[in-house]
């Protein structure tokens, strides 16, 4: 579907995001996703419509809150960056899927839906069938901003 020129553009975009995640935001366990087989071993090796990144942020990015006690801890861990002391006790943060996009792009709901439809359904948890991605928006001066996008209705973290 995509031409080779577009593909190489998307790959360049990803390399910008990759180095930003690695060296500015200290993500670890980073893996590049190019085909459906990279997402799911049993899937065919069809190329993804857009290349993605799979990696682990230094701190938990988002917690679905099954109980009230964990909701408060989720809030503090995401909003206050000064809670690094107990990092050894806490379990490692969840792995996240990152989708690099350029600021000048225009995407339809169909395009967003196809990104989510390729992702495996997360196992466990109350919001088990709620998928999420991190959208990495790259601008011309290589500034990268990150947004969490959920598939479906998910209550905002701070509310």
Partner 1 sequence: MADDAPKPRICVNYVAGRYLVYDVNDIAYLRTTWHMCGTLFGTLPQAQQQNIFLGLPLELMQEEARLLVDQRVAMIVDDSLAHREAVKALSETDKADILALKTQEQDKLTLANKEESLKRKEAAIENAKASGKWKTKPAKVAEPTPNQAEEGSLFAGGSDKVSEDVGGTGGDELVSTGQRTSPDDGGQRQYIIPMASSAIGSHSLRLPREAEHVPNPPDARYQVYKYLQSLGYFMSPGLRFGCQFVAYPGDPLRFHSHFLVKSLQWDEELSILDLVGGGRLGTGVKKAWMMAGLEQADTAGANADELEDPGVRTFCIEWAGFG
Q: Which stretch binds partner 1 (CB under 8 A): 28-36, 66-74, 85-93, 128-136?
A: 128-136
Separation CA 98–CA 9 (nearest Å):
17
Phi, psi for 102 (deg, rounded to 5): -100, 150
Name the strand (E) or helix (H) holding 71.
helix 68-79
Provide, rounded to whole angstroms, the least separation between the CB of residue 144 and partner 1: 6
78 sits near partner 1 (criterion: CB under 8 A): yes
- Cβ distance to partner 1 smaller for residue 41 or 68: 68
Shortest distance (Å) from residue 53 CB to partner 1: 13
Under rule CB under 8 A, residue 119 binds partner 1: no
Query: Long-range pairs for 107-114 at CB < 8 Å and ≥24 separation?
Result: 111/49, 112/149, 113/151, 114/49
Does 125 bind partner 1 (CB under 8 A)? Our answer is no
Q: What angle do CA 122, 127, 129 make, to 5 degrees?
A: 45
Q: Based on the shown chain and the rule CB under 8 A, indicate whether residue 147 belongs to the binding site for partner 1.
A: yes
List the x/- string, 4-33, binding to partner 1 by CB under 8 A.
----------------x---xx--------
With CB under 8 A as the contact rule, which of the stretches 30-38, 46-54, 121-129, 131-139 interacts with partner 1?
131-139
Say whether residue 154 binds partner 1 (CB under 8 A).
yes
Q: Are strands 47-56 and 28-35 parallel, antiparallel or unpaired?
A: antiparallel
Q: Is 152 left (phi over 0), alpha (psi -120 to 50) or beta?
A: left
User: Of 6, 9, 105, 126, which one interacts with partner 1 (CB under 8 A)?
Assistant: 105
3-class state of residue 11 by DSSP: helix
């Amino acid at each position: 579907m995509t031409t080779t020129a577009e593909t190489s553009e998307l790959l360049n975009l990803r390399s910008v995001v990759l180095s930003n995640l690695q060296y500015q935001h200290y993500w670890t366990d980073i893996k590049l996703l190019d085909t459906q087989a990279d997402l799911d071993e049993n899937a065919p090796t069809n190329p993804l419509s857009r290349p993605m990144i799979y990696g682990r942020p230094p701190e938990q990015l988002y917690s679905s809150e099954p109980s009230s006690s964990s909701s408060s801890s989720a809030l503090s861990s995401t909003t206050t960056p000064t809670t690094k002391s107990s990092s050894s006790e806490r379990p490692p943060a969840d792995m996240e899927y990152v989708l690099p996009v350029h600021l000048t792009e225009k995407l339809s709901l169909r395009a967003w839906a196809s990104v989510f439809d390729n992702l495996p359904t997360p196992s466990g948890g109350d919001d088990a069938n709620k998928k999420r991605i991190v959208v990495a928006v790259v601008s011309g001066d290589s500034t990268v901003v990150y947004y969490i996008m959920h598939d479906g209705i998910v209550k905002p973290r701070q509310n």
